[in-house]
Structure 1
């Protein structure tokens, strides 16, 4: 069993019973839905795959010890405090900016296959993007929840790429925040020497104001 790092665990986790938020400064927020629905605050320690929570509520101190079993999409723990051997599973409910996988470019120029390789994505699964009112737009989105990456492309440009996947294009990276936290937004655009080398205008206004002004940051149906 590998040792899980503090950076992997920072953020918010919850199930139907409680929610725990592990913060960067070793502080926690703990909310038990069954008892009070009030927040309890305290500290946490990670030691050899054991997560020790120490929190205070109504002038009383509580402590829970969990063994970390697995961490991929969800966090699985073995409760060593009240119920020895009881397995608890928590889902990631909010993604902090520091949890994002590192993408080492702000803009990347290349073919569609080179961009997929750079993002470590084998296949783009595009779905129609919605605006704030839930209406279809003229954009497609690919959504990778595990790595918190959204890839966005105009429908007519995607049709061009289907006919010629050697077209040179630019992937433009930005960081956004949705209902579940931060994610990368990768906008695929046709490469233009003038636009990217000499244009005095803001790239987003040159390309398409409609997308940035009218499409909601949250990913309907994905996030």
Structure 2
């Protein structure tokens, strides 16, 4: 609902030719990053009429296909990050015994260098680079850093967990204390259904 209100406010500002810094505030609050990027590109061209059309089309599609899942419908986790953890700790926190990893795809449907575990019942996804998964297979106690984000996909809200190497995070932290943009490599991906692959059940407790 907040995104809908933001889009309506953004549309009104454009219709009234109120182009000011408030536009950036509204844009930053749009969770659909693909739509936000399109709007930004059209703003650069000052093609305000096209932006209004984009917003109208999005609002129409949202009305025709209302979200099935909202924040209160998904499993809640009371942390933002977990440091110096391991794969067993992560599974314990998530309440699962197996991570069914499958190759993640980008918005174009191409394979990426990441694996994803998708829990459709509780609406959460776990991402990890393929090479890090191989390390974890060999060293289950390997220190990990886990980041949590609340995202929106086609069917609604879900929780995204990103697994990173603790040592890498510590090294990056020294250089970029407040910049964790390296973790946000899936912001535009829609993850609403994934088939399990029995070959990935290597971490069954």
**TM-score (structure 1 length as normaliser):** 0.52
- Alpha-carbon deviations, 1:25-44, whole Å to 9, x = none? xxxxxxxxxxxxxxxxxxxx
Flag as ranges the 4+ runs of structure 1 deviating above 2 A.
Answer: 192-201, 220-223
> Per chain length, whose mean CA-contact separation is higher, i.e. which structure has more relative contact order (CA < 8 Å, sep 6+)?
2
Q: Is the 8 A contact 1:127 1:141 kept in 2?
A: yes
Provide the rounded CA distance (Å) in 2 between the counterparts of 1:120 and 1:198: 34
**Residue 203 (structure 1) aligned with residue 173 (structure 2):** no
Distance 2:155 2:112 in 1: 22
Q: Is the 8 A contact 2:120 2:192 kept in 1?
A: no
After TM superposition, give the deviation of residue 102 of structure 1 in Å: 1.3
Whether 1:218 and 2:190 are equivalent positions in the alignment is yes
Q: Is 1:124 matched with 2:102?
A: no
What does the per-residue CA deviation read over 1:164-199, in whole Å, with 9 as the maximum and x for residues that have no partner?
Answer: 011010110001111110000000000133434673
Alignment of 1:148 onto 2:123: yes
Larger radius of gyration: 1
3-state SS, counterpart of residue 181 of structure 2: helix
Alpha-carbon contact 2:114-2:128 (below 8 Å) kept: yes
Aligned-residue offset at 1:115: 0.9
Does 2:72 align with 1:98?
yes
Give the length in aligned residue pairs. 127
**Which secondary structure does the structure 2 equivalent of 1:94 belong to?**
coil
- Pairing partner for 1:174 from 149, 161, 170: 149
CA shift, 1:212, in A, is 3.5
Displacement of 1:222 in angstroms is 2.9
CA distance in 2: counterparts of 1:196 and 1:98, whole angstroms: 32
Note the C-alpha offset of 1:201.
4.8
Residues of 1 paired with 2:88 and 2:179: CA distance?
A: 27
How big is the shift at 1:202?
A: 1.1
Point out the more displaced range, 190-199 or 125-134.
190-199
Q: Secondary structure at the match of 1:115?
A: helix
- Please, what is the CA RMSD of the aligned residues? 2.4
Which protein has the bigger strand share?
1
Higher helix share: 2
Superposed CA offset, 1:82-121 (max 9, x none): xxxxxxxxxxx71011212110110012111011101111
Question: Quick one: distance in 1 between partners of 2:174 and 2:104?
Answer: 29
Q: Is the 8 A contact 1:130 1:220 kept in 2?
A: no
Structure 2 residues without counterparts, runs of 5 or longer: 1-66, 196-205
